[in-house]
Each structure stands twice: as C-alpha cells, then as structure tokens.
Amino acid sequence: MATRIDEDYQQLKKSVHIYLIERLDEEGVEVEKATRESLQAFVQTAVGQYIANHRIPLATPDQTMLARETLDEIVGFGPLEPLLADDQINDILVNGAHVVFIEVAGVLQKVQTRFIDDEHVVRIIRRILAPLGRRIDESSPMVDARLPDGSRVNAIVPPIALDGPSLSIRKFSNKHLSATDLVNSGAMTSECLDLLVSVVEGRRNLLVSGGTGTGKTTILNMLSQYIPKDERVVTIEDSAELQLNHPHIVRLETRPANTEGSGKVTARDLIVNALRMRPDRVIVGEVRSGEIIELLQAMNTGHEGSMSTIHSNSAKDALVRIETLLAVNGYDAGERAIGRLIGSSLDIIVQLSRLPNGRRLISEVVALKPTMSDPYRMESLYRSPDLDFSPPAEEPV
C-alpha cells in the first residue's frame, strides 16, 4: 500500500511540475534570472490552484511539502536539495530512481528520497553539470566533475549503467577537523600527533594510506598545518579538496579532455610543471597513475617533506600498489632498482582504518628503514591502542 501511495505522489509531483512550467511560460517568468525567494510565493500559489482545480484531497502539510519539492525542481537539484543542505551527510549515492543511500559519520544508510523515474535522475544530473560546461548522454555516458562549492560528482548513465543512471556526490565541507578534534574523537592519540608534527617539521616524505572513506584528505589537511610558513608549497589534485592554511601556496588542478578529446592535463603533467616552480614541498592529493614516477623522483631530488595519499589497506600493500603503478605506467627498471627508488624516496607511511561502526582512526605509523637486502624494511613508530595487531593464533596440528 505504501508503495502505491508513493507512486501516486510521484506522479502528482510530475503533473504539478509540468503545470508549473506552463504557468511560468504564460507569465513570462525567467527562472534563470529569478531568486528562489522571488519564486516561492508564485510556486505556492500555483500548486494550491492545481490542487483545488483537480479536487485532490491533500492535507495542508503535504501541500506545503509538494510546493517546496516543486520549487526544488525548478531552481535546485530536486530530491537532492535536502540532502545537499544537511551538513551531517558526507556522501550521497543515487542508484537509479528509487534507491538512494547517504553516508553519515562513516555509516551508509538507505533513505526514503525518491525520483519520479530514470529520466528524472538524468535531468537532475544534467542540471548539475550544465553550469560546469560538462555533458552526459549515450555517446558520453560517464563524467567526473566538481561543483562550485568543491563537492565531487561522478555520474554514469545507460547503456553503461545497466540498472539506471547512477550519481555519486562526495560533499565538500568547509569545516575541517583540527588536530585537537581528531585527538578528542579518538582518531589518534596525543602521542601520535606529536610524532606526526615532528615528521612534518623534520621534512620527511610522507604517504597517507587508507581505504575509501577513511579520511585521507582530512589527515593530509591536518598535517599541512605544520608546514613552516616560510616554505613554498605546490598542491596537485584531480578535484581541489585540500584547504591548506598557508601563506605561500600554489594550487593546481587536473583537467579532463574536452568533447573533442583534447586539452587534457594530467597530474603527471602538473608535477613536471610544479618542479619548475621552485617548490619546497609538493603535495599530491592522491596518486593513482603515472604521476607516482615524478612524485618519487621529486621526493628523491631535493623536495623533502612532500606528501600524498594512496588507496591501500595496509602499509605493505601501499608499497605493492606503488610498484604496480610504476610498472603499468612504463617505469622500465628491475625489481631491485624499483625497490631502491621507493625505499629511498618515502620515509613515513600513515595508515588509516575505518571500524565497523564508522569510526575513522590512524591505525599505524611506520618508518621505512631500507637496507641493501630489504629496501622495504619497516619500523613501527605508532600503533593504535584500539586495534589488535597480534598475529592470529596458530591452529593445533
């Protein structure tokens, strides 16, 4: 029964939306030039007239909600508006018209938010992309973009997306956690903070490793606060998320190819250029491709104290992933030479974890202490007291 009622409401919302568009045309209202406040009274009146003319039994609170949601369709991002306005929500994940998840405090949960149909989802995606000069259709079914507020958007539509259009939004927050916040929340101990501060001030090359949603950018932002103010910093990101409180910083961002397939600027291109800008430190938002070659060489040639992040579930896995990235991106060297490059370039790996309850924390900090026989020899400098690092007990024979 609830499903039937929801379907009826979605159909009503679609009909009201069409009616409102006609009314706006008749009245000559230019939505693009109007503010939300100026349209609000117009929409409320039009919705009331439609309900009355069609004798639809709708309670006043429901009519108010219908007017607000219709206004969101006209000047906002439809059903996504309340989710985008909620500061507690970190991620919005739309899996087709009728399945929407959000992430709050590291925990995914399904919400009642619904779209009318797949066409409705695509219309909202296009509205998000339009001001950014990007498009999505069958010939170009995938897109990565950044909203003006810094939020990251990924969208993919049929025929690539088999079950309907999909939209993922990683919301940008201006409220970055301070070191004190992270200590108070249990993400790290004060001893761990003291260790990391000494690492940054001592110009050690550092890699923050962790899985998706473990807070890598948060930790990188926090660490950057301790870079001495007399140093020149160049940051390189696919989507600008770092918010460094530093007086001498140059921010660079990659660019995808245009509709003709030209104009692409990669992170690797930007690192090469950054090294000509006399940086003291280079900070790369995330290494995921050929930029790892230039970053390691920068770390090895006078740019101590550089930092980046990488997707990996352990410090050892991070080194294996770096090896893989070097190999698939054409770094032609033997295993021993690759090991020496990595071991001599990286000093510290900060490993992050996320617990089943959504809590994020620094699980381990390790220092690379390479030897001739073992370029990846590690020394543990910190281990979270909240995690069990003991090896599994051997089963009896």
Q: What is the pLDDT along the chain (397 residues), one digit of tens a residue?
A: 445 556 777 778 778 777 777 776 666 666 666 667 767 777 777 777 778 777 887 777 877 887 787 777 777 788 888 898 888 898 999 999 889 999 987 788 999 888 888 988 998 898 888 877 788 888 889 988 877 777 889 999 999 998 899 999 988 776 777 889 999 989 999 999 999 999 999 999 999 999 988 889 889 989 988 999 999 999 998 877 787 778 899 999 888 777 677 788 999 999 999 999 999 999 999 999 989 999 999 998 888 999 999 999 999 999 999 999 998 888 888 888 888 899 899 999 999 999 888 889 999 999 999 888 888 999 999 999 887 655 545 555 4
Residue 397: per-residue pLDDT: 42
d(CA 358, CA 291): 31
Question: SS3 letters for the chain?
Answer: CHHHHHHHHHHHHHHHHHHHHHHHHHHCCCHHHCCHHHHHHHHHHHHHHHHHHCCCCCCHHHHHHHHHHHHHHHHCCHHHHHHHHCCCEEEEEEECCCCEEEEECCEEEEECCCCCCHHHHHHHHHHHHHHHCCCCCCCCCEEEEECCCCCEEEEECCCCCCCCCEEEEECCCCCCCCHHHHHHCCCCCHHHHHHHHHHHHCCCCEEEEECCCCCHHHHHHHHHCCCCCCCCEEEEECCCCCCCCCCCEEEEECECCCCCCCCCECHHHHHHHHCCCCCCEEEECCCCCCHHHHHHHHHHCCCCCCEEEEECCCHHHHHHHHHHHHHHCCCCCCHHHHHHHHHHHCCEEEEEEECCCCCEEEEEEEEECCCCCCCCCEEEEEECCCCCCCCCCCCCC
341 residue type, one letter: L
Residue 92: per-residue pLDDT: 94
The number of CA neighbours under 13 Å toward the Cβ of 318 is: 30
Domain ranges across the chain:
1-74, 76-172, 179-383
Residue 17: per-residue pLDDT: 74
C-alpha distances (whole Å) from 120 to each of 4, 98, 124 are 19, 11, 6
Residue 30: per-residue pLDDT: 66
350 residue type, one letter: V
List of residues 6+ apart from 121 with CB closer than 8 A: 94, 96, 97, 115, 164, 165, 167
Residue 93: phi, psi to the nearest 5?
A: -125, 110
Residue 259: per-residue pLDDT: 67
pTM: 0.74
Residue 4: per-residue pLDDT: 54
Angle CA 169–151–32, to nearest 5: 95
CB count, 10 Å around CB of 33?
A: 7
d(CA 174, CA 167): 22
Spell out the long-range contacts of 259-263 with Cβ–Cβ below 8 A and sequence spacing 24 or more.
259/135, 259/140
- Confirm whether 76-172 and 179-383 share one CATH topology: no
Residue 27: per-residue pLDDT: 67
CATH code of domain 179-383 = 3.40.50.300
CB count, 10 Å around CB of 60?
A: 8
Residue 210: per-residue pLDDT: 94
Residue in this structure with the two tokens 């998000």, named with its chain if needed = 128
- Name which of 48, 93, 19 is nearest 11 in CA terms: 19
CB count, 10 Å around CB of 143?
A: 20
- Topology annotation, domain 76-172: Beta-Lactamase (3.30.450)
d(CA 38, CA 33): 10
Residue 18: per-residue pLDDT: 75
Look up residue 5 and give its two tokens.
């009622």
